[in-house]
Chains A and B, each alone.
Chain A
Amino acid sequence: MGKIVTIAVKEVRHILRDRRSLFIALMMPVLMTLLYGYAVNLDINNIKLAVLDYDNSSESRELINRFYHSGYFIQSQSRPELSDPEKVLKLTDAIAVMIIRPGFSKAVIDRSEFQVGMLIDGADANMSSAASSYSAVIFNQFLISQMPPETVIPGVTLSLQVLYNPDLKSSHFFVPGLVAVILMMISALLTSITIAREKETGTMEQLLTSPVTPRQIIMGKVIPYIGLAILDGVFVYVFAVWHFGVPMIGSAVLLLIIGVIYIIASLSLGVLISTLVNTQQLAMMAALTATMLPSVMLSGFIFEIKNMPAVLQVITHAIPARYFIQVIRGIMLKGAGLEVLWPQAVALMIITLILLGLAAKKFKIKIG
C-alpha cells in the first residue's frame, strides 16, 4: 500500500507540474460542455426561407406571415434581383424558397385548384426533412383558417404532452451524456499515455528494477487519474445543473456508484491499451480509436442507436459508454432507479469485469 501511495504521489507531481496538460485536462470539460450545450443543437428552427411572392395579395402575405411567425422559419438574405428560385438557393443563405404565383388569392377565395411551389435545399437531410414537414403543417393551418367557418370540420386534435424536458432543450440531452465521454477521455486516454511515456523515457525500467510489483505500479499510476476523472465528472455535472439548468430528479448516490463502475471499466481499457503499445503517439492514436470514437459516435450520445444499421447496433452493446449514458440520462432527466436501469447496470458490470480481468491478465510490463 505504501508503495502504491509513493507512486501515486509521484504521478500527482507529474500532473501538477505539467501545467499545459493540466490546463487542457481541466479546460476540456468546460469547453466541451459549452460546445455541446450551445453548439450542438439538433432542434431545427431558424430555417432560412426566401419567398418569391408574385401574387402580392393579403392572402399571400398572410401565408408568408404564418411561416415567419411559426418559430421555425426566418427570413433569408434579401436579393430581390434574383427571380430564379434555384439561383436564390445557390447564391443566398436560403435553405428553402417558396414561390407564390399570381392567382393565389383568387384560388383561395374561389377554392379552386392551385399549386404553391417550394424548393428545398436537400443537402442537409435532417434540415430539409424538418423544413418539409413544418411547412406542410403551417400551410395546412393556413388553408383551414381561410375556410368559411361552416365548412370547417373539427376533426382530430392532438393533445400534446411533453415529458421530462418540457422546454425541449437539447442541452438537457447532451450535457449529461458528456459526463460519460469526459470520464472515458480522462481515464482511458490519459492513463494509457502516461504509462507509454514512462516506457518511452526509460523510467519504467527504473521502476521495475525496484522492489515494486507491476500491479502496484499500475495502481499507483491509475489512482490519481481516478481523482482527476471524478473531478472532471463533477465539473461537468455542476456546470450542467447550474449553468444549463439540467434537472437532477433521481438519486445522486446511485449515479455515483454506477459512475465509479464505469470509471473502472475505462481505466481497465486504458491499461489494456498501454500494455500493447510503447510510444505515446501510438497510445494516443489507439486510445482515440478504441475509446473516444466509439464513446462519442456509437454510444447514443449524439446519434440514436436505433437508427443505425443492425451490425453497428450489435457493436454498440460492447461499448461501456452506451450503458452509462442511458443510466445518467435516466437518473437525471427521468428519475429512473435501479428497478428500470438494472439491465444497464448489469451489462456495465459484466463489461467492467471482463476488461479488468483482461487488463490484469495481460499486464506484464515489458520493456520493448
Chain B
Amino acid sequence: MEELFTILHPSYVLRNALYGGMVTGLVLPLIGVFMYCRRMVFLGVTLPQLSTGGIAAAVFWHLTYHQQEPNHSDFLLALLGSTIVTTGTLLLLAALERRGHEMVESRIGTVYVFAGAVTILLLASERIPEVGIVTLLRGQIITISDMDMAILLVAYTGIVLLITLFRRELLLVSVDRDLALSLGKRLWVWDIILYGLVGFAISLGVLMVGPLLTFAFLLLPTMMAIQLAKRFFLVPFLGGMFGLGIALIGFIVSFFMDWPTGATDSLLACLLLGVITLGQWLRRLVSRPITR
C-alpha cells in the first residue's frame, strides 16, 4: 500500500509518465469518437504509424541538414514533423476519397505499409541510432520532462476546447454529411479542422505513449462507451473516463508487475472491452423474450 501512495505522490520521479498517460487517455477518445463515426477505424491504426514515420523523418532531416544532434527541442521538432506528415496525408486521403476511383481501404493500407517501411529505413540509417532518438519513436513516456509535459497539457487543453466548441459541427460532418451540406455547412472547412485536430492529437499521443497505445486510446474507450452510453453526447465523456481509468490502473499494474506501461494499458483496454462486450451480449440474451 505504501508503494501505491509513493507512485501517486506528486514528487514521484516518474510522475510525468503517469500524468502524461492519463491526459493522453482522457483526450484521445474524444478524437476517437469522430473517427468511429466517420468509419475511420482502419485509419486509426495507420495514423499512429504515419506519425511515427513523421517523427523519424523530422529527426533525420534535422541531422542531415543541420549537422548537429537534436537537443532539448527534440520534442517540438518531432511534434512538428509528425503533425505535418499526419495531417497532410489525412487531407490527401480525403481529397482522393472525393475522386473515388479506388477503394479507400486500399489507399489507407498502402499508406500504412509505406509509413512502416520509411520508419524502419530511417531507423536503419547510421545517424538516428547514434543520437538515441529511438525513445521518441516508441513514445518517450518514461523520460518525459516537465517542459514536455507542460506542452502536452497546453496542447491537449486547446484540443479539448476546440472539440467542445465545435462539437455540433464535427458531429454533423461525421455522422451525416448530406444533412450538413443541406444545412449549408462547408464540409471542407470542417474536414480541415477535424483532420488538423486528429493529426495533432495523434502526433502528441505517439510522442507520449507510442503508436500502439495511441491506437488503443483512440478507439477502444470509444467502443466501450458506445456500448454503454444511453445517448450519444455521453460517449465522449464516458470514453474519456475509460481512457483515464485505463491509464491510471495500467500504470499501477505495470509498476507492480514490472511490465512495460504501454503494452499493459493496451492489454487492459482490450480486456475491459471484452468484458463490456460480453456483458452487453449477456444482457441482450437475458432480456430477449422467450419463444417456444
Chain A bound to chain B: no
Q: Residues on B close to A: CB < 8 A? A: none
Seen from chain A, the residues whose Cβ lies within 8 Å of a Cβ on chain B are: none
